[in-house]
């Protein structure tokens, strides 16, 4: 589980042991300044030996995204405060919000950005850029939107699978947007649950998070090219989230 939290992080990502919040914030600010001066620097920081109270203590710093695994007592934080993540997620959400309103779903779906989710055990905590939640379920988005500027493809994949597969998740789809910082290229991937053929849906085997669609956007010589349109059905997410099947299965397994 420890390795899963570190998959996809840039080589040379610094690691420290947690002592107190004041020291941690100083190290975060120092690493952020290094990143602003030197682009090859890793924008992430690995923190070990987290106290159980960490999420509440760190809650006030909402400008930085993080993933925490309290069972392993490990934190991965993006040190550079990039409101562009949330702004880009907001811009992406606006046309979706207009479409949902036009479909008469404004009484069922609520757009959020940014947000924080936590697994039922409290061991998995994750910040998100944007998404849509059911009006009656405001602790998990049924559709999560994540913008990746510094993250590698493997890091984004791990995040998407975590959102879909972690215990107690209500998320039915994850839209991952990877922005290439060196070339005018954007890759959009739609992640959903996938049940491989001939594998029964049992307590021992649940659907896995998989890429169901990929859209590539490029910009060359003043011309923007879009490979295809992203096709996603929000009504399907609503129907699936109404059952709460995965959460109920998890509860049954714990009895």
User: Which tens digit of pLDDT belongs to each residue from 100-128?
Assistant: 888 888 788 888 877 888 888 878 888 88
Helix (H) or strand (E) holding 145: strand 137-148
Q: How confident is the prediction for the chain on average, in pLDDT?
A: 79
Topology, domain 83-253: tt1808, chain A (3.90.1570)
Distance CA 25, CA 22 (A): 5
Q: What is the reported pTM?
A: 0.66
Encode 39-69: b = buried (16+ Cβ within 10 Å), e = exposed. Answer: eebbbbbbbeebeeebbeebeeeeebbbbbb
What are the tens digits of pLDDT across the range 204-214? Answer: 556 789 999 99
CATH 3.90.1570 residue ranges in the chain?
83-253
How does pLDDT run across 27-44, given as a tens digit for each residue? Answer: 988 888 777 666 678 888
Higher pLDDT, 236 or 4: 236
Q: What is the pLDDT of residues 172-201, one digit of tens each?
A: 999 999 988 788 889 999 999 887 776 665
Among 146-150, 160-164, 188-192, 197-201, the range scoring the smallest mean pLDDT is 197-201
Q: Which own/partner pairs from 22-30 qualify as long-range (CB within 8 Å, at least 24 positions apart)?
A: 25/61, 28/64, 28/77, 28/79, 29/79
Q: Which pLDDT belongs to residue 47?
A: 93
Q: Does residue 177 contact residue 153 with C-beta atoms inside 8 Å?
A: no
């Amino acid at each position: 589980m420890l390795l899963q939290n570190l998959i996809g992080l840039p080589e040379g990502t610094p690691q420290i042991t947690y002592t107190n919040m004041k020291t941690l914030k100083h190290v975060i600010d120092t690493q952020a300044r290094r990143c602003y001066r030197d682009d090859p620097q890793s924008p992430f920081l690995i923190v070990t030996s987290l106290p159980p109270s960490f999420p509440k203590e760190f809650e006030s710093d909402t400008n930085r995204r993080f993933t925490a695994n309290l069972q392993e007592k490990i934190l991965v934080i993006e040190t550079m405060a990039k409101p562009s993540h949330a702004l880009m997620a907001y811009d992406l959400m606006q046309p979706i919000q207009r479409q949902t309103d036009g479909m008469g779903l404004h009484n069922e779906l609520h757009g959020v950005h940014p947000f924080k989710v936590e697994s039922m055990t409290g061991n998995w905590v994750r910040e998100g850029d944007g998404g849509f939640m059911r009006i009656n379920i405001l602790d998990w988005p049924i559709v999560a939107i994540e913008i990746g500027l510094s993250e590698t493809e493997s890091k984004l994949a791990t995040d998407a699978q975590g959102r879909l597969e972690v215990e107690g998740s209500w998320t039915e789809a994850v839209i991952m947007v990877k922005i290439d910082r060196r070339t005018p290229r954007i890759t959009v991937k739609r992640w959903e649950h996938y049940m491989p053929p001939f594998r029964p849906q049992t307590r021992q085997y649940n659907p896995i998070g998989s890429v169901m669609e990929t859209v590539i956007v490029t910009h060359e010589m003043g011309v923007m090219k879009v490979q295809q349109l992203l096709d996603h059905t929000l009504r399907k997410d609503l129907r699936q989230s109404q059952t709460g099947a995965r959460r109920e299965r998890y509860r049954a397994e714990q009895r």
